[in-house]
Chain A
Amino acid sequence: MAASVLLACGLNEQKLPGFVHISEESNVDGSFLISCILGQRLRISNAGTLLICLQHHYQHYFNAGMRLGYNSNIFLGKTLNVIDVLSDMAQQGLDCKWLRSSDELTLTEQLIEDIRTQLANNYANRTSYTILIDNLSILFNLGASKLHVQQFCQSLAALAKEHENLTVITKLSNSDIHQLTDDNVAKLGNVRIQVLRLKSGVFREVDGKLLIERVLDEGSYACEQSRKEVLYKVNDRNVKIFNPGEIGVKV
């Protein structure tokens, strides 16, 4: 269902790079990538996953997973753990810990504390562990400053370095508006996936473009990088991938 898109992004392997960042341009939706990656991680036996729901609540990912061919509820509480910020806020209102600063912790500090706790409880029992954060730009809406988001991402990158089999995957929407933050987060990892809209406009057969940049080797004075461009179309139950130029208007 989503194997082709993961293959194109190089995220179909059991061991993923330490830090992967997804930049999502304005007016495009790259949430399908989170659902695809989540499904792929859940299918690996004894691989732990922590999903941090900032843009969509957990139920959304369950529904999306069902369409893509996996049932995330089976793994919930076992290999899948969820920090559902949106649901917490909806259920607890202003008393929610994400909306009030307890112990003088900021929102991002509170979040990283919770991630550390989850990691301490689950990492040792799993062959590998993946932390998925569905949208960093929601943190801005919840009152976090650019600096806080940057520090939060640096803490995540530090966690990925400390733990051998840990992968952190972040997504930032409106990356063209939050350009500085986007670049600063992307530099923390070796893989950056940009979800871009079509420059020529809207097309029925194609939703947008994925630009996958991967640092292959860091030399002393220059980096060896690979860049790959593919077009994608999100259908009801799958995601299709095309090479640029493969699809055209036939007259």
Chain B
Amino acid sequence: MLSNLMVTNQKVVLIIDQLNRERIAAKFIDSLLKEQGQGEEVKVLPIGTQLKHVASIETLLGDNNNPKNAINVILPTLADLLCYHKPAHIFQFINRLRRCEHVSRVFLWASPQLLLHADAEYILAGCEYLSELVLRLETDTTLSLLSRKPGGGVSNKRYTCEVSKTEFKVKPLVDAAANAATVTEVKSEEGVKAADPGGTFKIELDEDEMVARNALTLPYERTSDTATEGNIIYTPDADDDFDDEDPDEDLLI
């Protein structure tokens, strides 16, 4: 299911819709969260004319003061946001949400064919830059998922999808191609397995492995969360002998 790939540790999620499904954007995201049992902690921002009131956006951060209940925020679509707010204001707001510890995830929906702004391409690129997970709904049967890990790793994978009104099934596109290769191989040469041409290692991850990998917090990520600094505080004794001259000066380094 798509929700396994979308509801992960990544905080800012951008959905680029090339199929004109903007009218169901909020429902789409809400369904993803519900499938992962996150349906209760959702805050949907006002849409349309209600967006005129800047205060309603700003107050969102102040509303949830209890750190135990981190919320998922579903932003209005980028087309609606651009209708009432300047791009700089939108970027600032997304950035603030990203830093806010009471917010577990931020979802933004963008349909490139509906962006009225003159610099729509740059704005969309800016949103992509801010996002940690970018889902691109390319066609009715294919999508791509770009994932940026906190450690700096980036993966860009394509999937085939099977969409009904209530279900969104995905299958890695590479695996599908490999499976097809395997079937033809088996037919032509029984007993010989279609191995990865790169070797005997299994490089690709299936959906469950991907979820497990995304859920795992690596030790160096844990330490980077804490705000402790690694400075060495040294208080010199009165008898310490300090030499102002460089002791290695004669080495001509």
Partners in one complex: yes
State the A residues within 8 Å of B (CB). Answer: 146-147, 150-151, 154-155, 157-158, 180-181, 183-184, 187, 215, 217-224
Q: Quick check: B116 and A150 within 8 Å, CB to CB?
A: yes
B1-35 contacts to A, CB under 8 A, are: 20-24, 27-28, 30-31
Mind listing 7 A-B residue pairs with CB under 8 Å?
A147-B83, A151-B49, A151-B83, A158-B50, A187-B20, A221-B168, A222-B164
How long is the Cα–Cα vector from A180 to B115 in the complex, in angstroms?
7
Identity of the chain B residue whose Cβ is nearest the Cβ of A148 in the assembled complex: B83
Q: With contacts A151-B83, A154-B48, A187-B114 known, is A223 near B31, CB below 8 A?
A: no
Q: Quick check: A221 and B163 within 8 Å, CB to CB?
A: yes
Among B20, B24, B30, B164, find the residue whose CB has the most chain A CB atoms closer than 10 A.
B24
Q: Quick check: A184 and B114 within 8 Å, CB to CB?
A: yes
Q: Quick check: B21 and A222 within 8 Å, CB to CB?
A: yes
How long is the Cα–Cα vector from A147 to B79 in the complex, in angstroms?
11
Q: With contacts A147-B83, A184-B116 known, is A221 near B49, CB below 8 A?
A: no
B62-88 interface bits toward A, Cβ cutoff 8 Å, 1 = contact, 0 = none: 000000000000000001100110000
Interface residues on B, range: 20 to 34
Q: Quick check: A157 and B23 within 8 Å, CB to CB?
A: no
Q: Quick check: A220 and B27 within 8 Å, CB to CB?
A: yes
B113-141 contacts to A, CB under 8 A, are: 113-116
What's the minimum C-beta distance from B221 to chain A, rounded to whole angstroms? 32
Q: Which residues of B contact A220 (CB under 8 A)?
A: 24, 27-28, 30-31, 165-166
Interface: B167 (CB within 8 A): yes
Q: Which residues of A contact B24 (CB under 8 A)?
A: 218-223
Q: Quick check: A184 and B79 within 8 Å, CB to CB?
A: yes
What's the minimum C-beta distance from B38 to chain A, rounded to whole angstroms? 15
What's the minimum C-beta distance from B32 to chain A, rounded to whole angstroms? 9
Q: Which residues of A contact B83 (CB under 8 A)?
A: 147, 150-151, 154
Q: Which residues of B contact A183 (CB under 8 A)?
A: 20, 113-114
Q: With contacts A187-B23, A220-B28 known, is A151 near B84, CB below 8 A?
A: yes
Q: Beyond A180-B116, A187-B22, A221-B24, list 10 extra A-B contacts (CB 8 Å).
A: A150-B116, A151-B84, A158-B50, A181-B116, A183-B114, A217-B165, A218-B23, A220-B165, A223-B21, A223-B24
Q: With contacts A187-B22, A221-B163 known, is A158 near B31, CB below 8 A?
A: no
Q: Which residues of A contact B167 (CB under 8 A)?
A: 221
Q: Quick check: B116 and A146 within 8 Å, CB to CB?
A: yes
Q: Which residues of B contact A218 (CB under 8 A)?
A: 23-24, 27
How long is the Cα–Cα vector from A184 to B115 in the complex, in angstroms?
9
Identity of the chain A residue whose Cβ is nearest the Cβ of B161 in the assembled complex: A221
Return the 7 tightest CB-CB contacts between A and B, nearest first: A219-B165, A220-B31, A221-B168, A154-B48, A158-B49, A222-B163, A155-B49
Q: Which residues of A contact B115 (CB under 8 A)?
A: 180
What's the minimum C-beta distance from B238 to chain A, rounded to whole angstroms? 72
Q: Which residues of A contact B30 (CB under 8 A)?
A: 220
How long is the Cα–Cα vector from A221 to B170 in the complex, in angstroms?
13
What's the minimum C-beta distance from A178 to chain B, rounded to whole angstroms? 10
Q: Quick check: B116 and A224 within 8 Å, CB to CB?
A: no
What's the minimum C-beta distance from B45 to chain A, rounded to whole angstroms? 15
Among A146, A150, A217, A224, find the residue whose CB has the most chain B CB atoms closer than 10 A.
A150
Q: Which residues of A contact B23 (CB under 8 A)?
A: 187, 215, 218, 223
Q: Which residues of B contact A187 (CB under 8 A)?
A: 20, 22-23, 114
Q: Which residues of A contact B79 (CB under 8 A)?
A: 184
Q: Which residues of B contact A147 (CB under 8 A)?
A: 83, 116
